[in-house]
Structure 1
Amino acid sequence: MPFYADSEFAPDISIGYLIRRAHQLGGVAMEPVFAAEGLTGIQWSALVSIFFGRGVTAADLARDLGHDKGAMTRLVDTLEERGWITRQRTPEDRRCVKLALTGEGEAVALRCKRHVVACWNTWLADWSEAEVQMMISLLQKLRGTLAVAAGAPCA
């Protein structure tokens, strides 16, 4: 049985709207953390994606962060200019360029990560551990559902 009905659908119960709005509010609240390190939220996201091995190439980063490849190339250019990442062509395929954090890039990512963790711990202070675990589990389940559904038409 479907959960949503046209007559009752509104932003305050829309999963998409609520996730987007929470992401926006969190981003605004964390801007000072990133600004103190001289970077933007998307630049930090790229550094962290590389750090965790999710963004080994600019194309990987674009997919992981939901950015177009052209914008990601410009972002990678900026990170390289700042000395936070390096690009290296692979010996097997010279067309493939691998990204890696420099020591300074890793240091910036880790400093920001500590602040991000502190922010989330503050925001979730009145949540029980079970509530946080449930939220994470449900979001992971939703991510999986949407990954399977990507490209498939809705009803």
Structure 2
Amino acid sequence: MSFYDPETYTPERSIGYLIKTCNQTMTALLDRMLADEELNSSQWSAMMTIHHGEAPTCAALARGMAHDKGAMTRLIDTLEEKGLVERTRSADDRRVVHLSLTPAGRAVTSRCRDMVVEHWNRCFTGWADAEVETLISLMQKLRCTLEDIATCP
């Protein structure tokens, strides 16, 4: 299937452009929303990922968030200095350092999650639940397709 045609391809019809501009707008909104907690959207995203157990180590977190390891280490250093994240060396393999939220980190993550949920609910005012579910499903499908393509030689 060839959906796009080079002659009619415009930014407003480009999935990549639309995703990028939505992400930029959402990042700016999140940064403003999280300012009272002295967090930015990348820090909060890392905390949510740790909270949900999706990245037990800094390297896994960097892969999952598509950051380089150095940038992720600096981000975790900042969260650790704020008392929100702690590092624990693995008892099985001393080279492995596990990440977890501190009690303060869990509390901040919960407060921020509540703000973000409220924000998304405002964004989807006027949308039918089925429309939101369809959008989520299609975004997940696109993510899987892109991940499959990225792993092909």
Report what 1:66 is aligned to: 66
TM-score (norm 2): 0.96
Aligned-partner Cα distance in 1 for 2:141–2:118 = 25
- What per-residue deviation string (whole Å, max 9, x for no partner) do you get for residues 99-135 of structure 1? 0000000111110000000000000011111100000
Aligned-partner Cα distance in 1 for 2:152–2:4 = 19
Report what 1:40 is aligned to: 40
| Structure 2 unaligned residues grouped into runs of 5+ | none
> Which 4+ stretches in 1 moved above 4 angstroms?
none
- What per-residue deviation string (whole Å, max 9, x for no partner) do you get for residues 25-53 of structure 1? 11112222210101111000110010011
State, as a whole percentage, how many aligned pairs show the same letter: 48
Report what 1:88 is aligned to: 88
Report what 1:75 is aligned to: 75
Aligned-partner Cα distance in 2 for 1:142–1:119 = 24
Describe how 1:123-142 pairs up with structure 2 within 5 A: 123-142=123-142
User: In structure 1, the residue corresponding to 2:7 is in which secondary structure?
Assistant: helix
Aligned-partner Cα distance in 1 for 2:52–2:151 = 27
Aligned-partner Cα distance in 2 for 1:102–1:147 = 32
Aligned-partner Cα distance in 1 for 2:24–2:33 = 15
User: In structure 2, the residue corresponding to 1:27 is in which secondary structure?
Assistant: helix
Describe how 1:102-117 pairs up with structure 2 within 5 A: 102-117=102-117
Which deviates the most, 24-33 or 110-119? 24-33
Aligned-partner Cα distance in 2 for 1:54–1:122 = 27
TM-score (norm 1): 0.95
The Cα RMSD (Å) is 1.0
Report what 1:50 is aligned to: 50
Aligned-partner Cα distance in 1 for 2:16–2:64 = 18
Aligned length, in residue pairs: 153
